[in-house]
Amino acid sequence: MRVLHILNELKPSGAEVMLRSAATEFTALGVEGTILATGAQPGIFAPELERAGYRVLHLPFRKSPAFFLALRRLILDSGCDVVHSHTERANFWIGLTILSTGRVGALRTFHNAYPFEGLLRRVRGFERRLLGRLGVLGVAISPSVKDNESQRFGCASEVVNNWYDSHRFRLPTAQERAAARQAVLGADERFVVLSVGNCSAVKNHGALVDALGALPAGKPFLYLHAGTETPGREELAAARALRLESSVRFLGPVMDVRELFFAADAYVMPSIYEGFGIAAAEALACGVPCVFADCPGLKDFRQYGLRVWYTGIDSVSIRAALEDLMARPAGSLAEPLEANAVRTREMFGIEQGARAYTHLYERAAAGQARAPSAVVGR
């Protein structure tokens, strides 16, 4: 089974990270992957995906018929059995281009709970429903995304939960945690608050910075942020305005965040909405106490019996959750956090997602796309 994945510029997030972690599993299941980057540049994560065994191609996106004609030729020349589109940009026209070949199965994953309204909502709903009728299988990365696609766009989809790299993210030993803290912090013994993710508005990192600035003076902390900042570096500016320069470190993009999870005392994800939150699963798998906003894509973890501190998206409730965590005696959460790690692997490990997608690839290649009635990967 040969699958061509269509993505934007390749970065260390979302679909790219999942594809890298599942490369060996897909190979064992008989799935051979090629990745097409459609950004202006292939992206900084392209070498990582090539090292994982994928062939990486590059066709910069343009709003012109020439791009879609070139894409059609590329699909036919690739010899693929299925094209798996991961993009929201031009997804309708990409879907029609895939279908126009008449030779390959088509599958599209919805990677977020898109909040479109007004005319854009109506247009995207029409496009999604039409592609579904024409045979493009729709896949949602979480129950929240499935509900959003159904309620907002009238679009049917199946759930294949996002997965994390369950081969690497796990509970650290005491020695591994000590080594990680030494490597990341040196002799610093402050309470470490971690967030992982790019600084877009929906990540709501500004509220977290405000919450940290309101913590009592007797609660020393160090905030580590891994991810690309906005060009204006608003979060850093907010930290400086609160005189937190000595208590925050913006690390930029980090290719391997496992050591950060091993060193952390709390992981905070205050997003306004998410599709799923791979970093959230990684934190849970590493036994880190987690503070999540009670929002689409993160509230789904409730149904799996995981111990999580849920908050609003405001700084006051985030601060309250952090104060509660910081007041707890060391080791008092060991048992529920170990249970989190076990349950996270059971529900969101690589094997479950790779098997579910392989089944869908086989269906799509055989021309068996149909209106979904079951949930896959739950």
| pLDDT value of position 198 | 84
Number of domains the chain contains:
2
| pLDDT value of position 369 | 44
Do 139 and 197 fall into the same domain? no
Quickly count: other Cβ atoms within 10 Å of residue 191's Cβ. Answer: 16
Do 217 and 88 fall into the same domain? no
Average pLDDT across each block of 10 residues of the chain; the chain has 378 residues. List them in order. 97 90 97 98 96 98 97 97 97 97 96 94 97 96 95 96 94 96 92 91 92 90 90 84 90 90 96 90 96 93 89 96 90 90 94 96 79 41
d(CA 246, CA 84): 45
Enclosing H/E stretch for 71: helix 65-78
| pLDDT value of position 308 | 93
- 359: nearest Cα among 341, 345, 375: 375
d(CA 97, CA 70): 10
Distance between alpha carbon 267 and the CA centroid of its chain, in Å?
15
Question: Residue 309: helix, strand or coil by DSSP?
Answer: strand
CATH number, domain of 79, equals: 3.40.50.2000
| 150 in a structural domain | yes
| pLDDT value of position 376 | 42
Query: What phi, psi does 250 have (nearest 5°)?
Result: -95, 110
Pairing of strands 266-269, 191-196: parallel
| pLDDT value of position 371 | 39
- List of E strands, 76-168: 82-85, 105-110, 137-140, 158-159
Do 58 and 156 fall into the same domain? yes
Do 139 and 280 fall into the same domain? no
- Torsion sign, CA atoms 179, 183, 188, 192: negative
Do 158 and 191 fall into the same domain? no
List C-alpha distances in Å: 295 to 34, 202, 203, 222, 299. Answer: 34, 11, 11, 25, 6
| pLDDT value of position 145 | 95
Do 145 and 187 fall into the same domain? no
Range of the domain at 157: 2-163+349-365
| pLDDT value of position 140 | 97
Do 71 and 145 fall into the same domain? yes
Q: Per DSSP, what are the bridge partners of residue 226?
A: 196, 252
pTM of the model: 0.83
| 216 in a structural domain | yes
| 169 in a structural domain | no
Q: Per DSSP, what are the bridge partners of residue 105?
A: 82
| 374 in a structural domain | no
Tokens describing residue 141: 């990365």
| 370 in a structural domain | no
| 265 in a structural domain | yes
Do 185 and 140 fall into the same domain? no
Do 197 and 141 fall into the same domain? no
| 211 in a structural domain | yes
List C-alpha distances in Å: 177 to 118, 164, 182, 184, 364. Answer: 49, 20, 9, 10, 44
Do 152 and 18 fall into the same domain? yes
Do 289 and 342 fall into the same domain? yes
Quickly count: other Cβ atoms within 10 Å of residue 127's Cβ. Answer: 17
